[in-house]
Amino acid sequence: MIKRNILLPLLSVCLCACHHETLDDRAEKYTKDYTERFCPTPVQDMQRTDSLTYDRSTHTFNYYFTLVDKADNADIIKEKQKEITDALLKQLKENTSAKVYKDAGFSFHYIFRSGSKGNILLENTFTQKQYKK
């Protein structure tokens, strides 16, 4: 009887300790928690973060933004597309909080929509090949 009383709690502890959260689980939880707590964010630098999602099938973080005021201009975005893309990539390369995901080869997808029309003004996906250069 004493062996049984010791064995059952010991097995329970072992079974609980064996469950490890995967990187996909962490990514999904992070994006869900961030979106619920902070989104939509207040407008800063003529943009607002609407939400973050994570796609397990492609291992991709999706960042959804809305552009407002002067940034909500398709012609300006088109003209500055390379500069914006380069700045996004530089920011991603320097982002230490995403290191574990970058080391695992996850992708990062950015979608910028017009605040006035709702259409996509800019869309970029960065893969490990790009941010590891």
pLDDT category, 113, cuts 50, 70, 90?
very high
CA distance 129 to 133: 7
Helices vs strands, H then E, count in the chain: 6, 4
CA neighbor of 120 nearest in space, from 59, 38, 52, 64: 64
pLDDT digits (tens, 9 = 90+) for 49-64: 999 999 999 999 999 9
Q: What is the CATH number of domain 21-131?
A: 3.30.300.250
* Percent of the chain scoring above 70 in pLDDT: 86
pLDDT category, 79, cuts 50, 70, 90?
very high
Query: For the whole model, what pTM was predicted?
Result: 0.83
Q: What is the pLDDT of residue 18?
A: 56
The domain locations on the chain are: 21-131
Q: What is the pLDDT of residue 20?
A: 81
More confident residue, 18 or 76: 76
Q: What is the pLDDT of residue 109?
A: 99
Q: In this model, does residue 3 exceed pLDDT 70?
A: no
Q: In this model, does residue 16 exceed pLDDT 80?
A: no
Percent helix, strand, coil in the chain, to 5, is: 50, 25, 25
